[in-house]
Chains A and B, each alone.
Chain A
Amino acid sequence: MPSIDKAIEDITGVRSDLEAALDPAEPDGVYRDSRECAALALLSADTKLLLSPPTPRPKKG
């Protein structure tokens, strides 16, 4: 009865996925890129958050 076996396997899979979803491990962190920093700067224009560009350096020569 392959179809019944498949159904049991699928439902067992649902159960194990459910348990993982209800007690998830913390995912690995991914850090912001410049596009997100720009969006944050726009959003925080009227708040106390300060994002500044890199300090200018004198050109050589």
Chain B
Amino acid sequence: MEQSGTSALLQGAVQDLASDVVSALRGGDHVRMSGTGAMDDLEGSFALAAVRVLGADLLLPHVLFPTPPAPEALAVFRRTVEAFPPRADAAPTVKWSHWAMSRTLMRLDTSPVDTSPVDTSPVGAPAGNPTAEPDVAGWLDEATWQVLTHQLAVLAPLAVLGEDCAVARAAQRRPVDVARGFVRAVRRRDWQQAAGAGRWLTLLDGVPETLGLEAGLDFVELMGGSDPRVALQVQAARVMRAAGALV
């Protein structure tokens, strides 16, 4: 399928950021955030959009290790959360990915609260209650195992050790379906979906041992790891496994 010019640029920017996150996950370093220097022009809007696409995973190294992010990285992250609030009729994945960013921001932003009398909301908090989960219920419970796996892979940034939310609980209720979806994604050579599903499976109880998840993730990395977004999911799964996840 032919991509538009902006689509190719956006994807390139997302991949650059994903590479930075993979490096940070491997080396325990700060996320460098390539290309987010100029934020006031068209290039800047691409950079913010790229941060929005990568979502909460941008600061994943600082959640998993945990270390405080660089102030500049946190500022760009906060600005992105504020710049792209989901519309009321947005798809569930859009709402949940924005919620994940807001939640990460609340978790990591330790800067002093602005004490000006005008703005009394928490630093970085979008309008409303940022900790309230999106009002989207039952959509994953009613999904086929194929759709479930696809949606979970899109929402892979929510697959974080110790994170509790409706999406994580829905995944926990259907480990065999997610395992089937992982195998299907590998067979379809959809490495991004396979990597995202594999990351979820790392956190789930009741995954069939016959799945061979560890070898499967190695295979996904071998075949799709040249895409930084695939490498990010595989590396995230490895870090969480080392930190005490189930597989």
Q: Chain B, interface size: which category?
A: 20 to 34
Task: Indicate if the CB atoms of B188 and A29 lie closer than 8 Å.
Answer: yes
Cross-interface CB contact of B93 among A23, A44, A48, cutoff 8 Å: A23
User: Are B42's CB and A26's CB within 8 A?
Assistant: no
What is the predominant secondary structure among interface residues of chain B facing chain A?
helix
Q: By the criterion CB–CB under 8 Å, are A23 and B190 in contact? A: no
Q: Is the CB of B218 within 8 A of A43?
A: yes
Chain A residues touching B, majority SS:
helix
Interface status of A1 (Cβ within 8 A of chain B) = no
Are B223 and A39 in contact, CB atoms less than 8 angstroms apart? yes
> Is the Cβ of A7 less than 8 Å from the Cβ of B219?
no
Residues of chain A with a CB closer than 8 A to B5's CB: 13
B residues with a Cβ closer than 8 A to A are 4-7, 10-11, 14, 42, 45-46, 49, 52-53, 84, 90-91, 93-94, 97, 146, 150, 154, 187-190, 193, 210, 212, 215, 218-219, 222-223
Total A residues in contact with B, Cβ cutoff 8 Å: 28
> Within the complex, which residue of A10, A39, A40 is in contact with B6, where a contact is CB–CB below 8 Å?
A10
- 20 other A-B residue contacts (CB within 8 Å) besides A15-B49, A22-B91, A30-B189: A7-B42, A11-B42, A13-B5, A13-B6, A14-B10, A17-B6, A17-B10, A20-B7, A21-B10, A21-B11, A22-B52, A22-B154, A26-B193, A27-B190, A32-B187, A39-B223, A40-B219, A47-B212, A48-B210, A49-B215
